[in-house]
Chains A and B, each alone.
Chain A
């Protein structure tokens, strides 16, 4: 049966259109591939060229990782998942990756050294100060962003190391003990951000907590090493060791 009207073109031209579209598509893919490989090699070249800067200059490194985030590349992605390392690691000659893993090792060391003092909770800003401390064997200058990145890279080790945010200022902390903070504990630490300490009365007046609740929470936190008690004030003051930084 003979078709009339626009439908008549259908069979005749569909094949041609299909051909054309697939040609165009392929061309685009090829172009994109070329662009991507050009971009990759440019980026790789850039990274290799500036490896030393990326390693040693915290501002430069921050800019570089910001750039990576913008274009949707995670410098650490897949780095521990298989033996050949991430695409990224291969491209960058492992320098950037190694940097974060080495940093992570230092972060773990400091967490371990300060655990008796702070119960395993240390602020990222204090970590930064301690890493740069000149009396250390190998002081390094890093940004807080670097530290957070390196802590995240430890995720594959399980729940031992985690970033926690505290208080109204969303202060970033590193938790290096496996036990999680309860809601009440998080609230107490957040409240400590204001004056450095809390008392049973303060918790009652500001949060409406009954005394027995406050005493339980504070007692637990002292037992966990998260708070230091000062009994020389009018009322026992519970101080967060993060005040020390």
Chain B
């Protein structure tokens, strides 16, 4: 199924992922609390590994395994929109033991993550989508600032696209960062007077100058 090269980079699921009741909401409060904490750290680790910025309660597609094998090995949902079912079928379901989380349980887990500051609701989604903060926007801000400093780009104007997808950031953690999260990170720098957003005459955002 998997080539050696790929298995190097494959996400290593924790052993609890093979534990069937992990996919059923536990009725015992204490047990549920520990179950939530395990899902929280699993989701953060998974999203960090595959650079997944956004998750949705979504529908966990059944029998989508064949598709996964084709486009799943690249392991990304960088292009966002239609990737969420693919991610959900890998993160919230385990076909080996034929178990999957219910959507209502996924939502509870999202709520827990938001409460912990590990995620934030996507405002327009009415609690259907979260931004996953395996790093918080202020931590991304620090990373970006450090990268700008170390590459001698302090004071020059960068486009948002350059920061997220430019050739120079390929090796950075924030390569491919979601637009909204990037904007939050930049806003954080602006609020600390460490960045200025440059707008064109028609009020279109041109880029950002990091000081």
Contact = CB atoms under 8 A, between A and B. Distances in A.
Interface string B15-35: 110011111101110110111
A57 to B, nearest CB: 28
B19 A243 contact: yes
Contacts of B33: 116
A229 B99 CA distance: 13
A225 B99 contact: no
A232 B34 contact: no
Interface in B93-112: 98-100
Nearest to A224: B28
A56 to B, nearest CB: 28
A20 B208 CA distance: 107
B28 A239 contact: no
Contacts of B30: 115-116, 119, 225
Interface string B26-58: 111011011101100000000000000000000
A115 B37 CA distance: 13
Contacts of A117: 31, 34, 38
B99 A228 contact: no
A243 B21 CA distance: 11
A162 B156 CA distance: 66
Interface in A199-245: 222-225, 228-233, 237, 239, 241, 243-245
A223 B28 contact: yes
Contacts of A197: 20
A225 B28 contact: yes
A222 B24 contact: no
Nearest to B36: A116
B15 A228 contact: no
Contacts, number: 56
A228 B30 CA distance: 11
Contacts of B21: 228-230, 237, 239
Nearest to A239: B21
A232 B99 contact: yes
Contact of B31 (A228, A237, A243, A244): A228
Nearest to B32: A116
B24 A229 contact: yes
Nearest to B38: A117
Nearest to A219: B27
B16 A231 contact: no
B27 A222 contact: yes
Interface in A116-161: 116-117, 119
A65 to B, nearest CB: 31
A117 B19 CA distance: 12
A233 B31 contact: no
Contacts of A233: 20
A244 B20 contact: no
Contact of B20 (A119, A222, A223, A232): A232
B23 A228 contact: no
Interface in B70-128: 98-100
A244 B16 contact: yes
B24 A230 contact: yes
Nearest to B101: A232
Nearest to B20: A230
CB-CB nearest 10 A-B residue pairs = A116-B34, A228-B21, A230-B21, A230-B20, A117-B34, A116-B30, A239-B21, A231-B24, A225-B31, A230-B24
Given A228-B26, A230-B23, A239-B19, 6 more contacts: A116-B37, A228-B21, A230-B21, A231-B24, A232-B20, A232-B24
20 contacts: A116-B30, A117-B38, A119-B30, A197-B20, A222-B27, A225-B30, A228-B21, A228-B24, A228-B26, A229-B21, A230-B21, A230-B24, A230-B99, A232-B24, A233-B20, A237-B20, A239-B19, A244-B16, A244-B19, A245-B15
Interface of A: 115-117, 119, 197, 222-225, 228-233, 237, 239, 241, 243-245
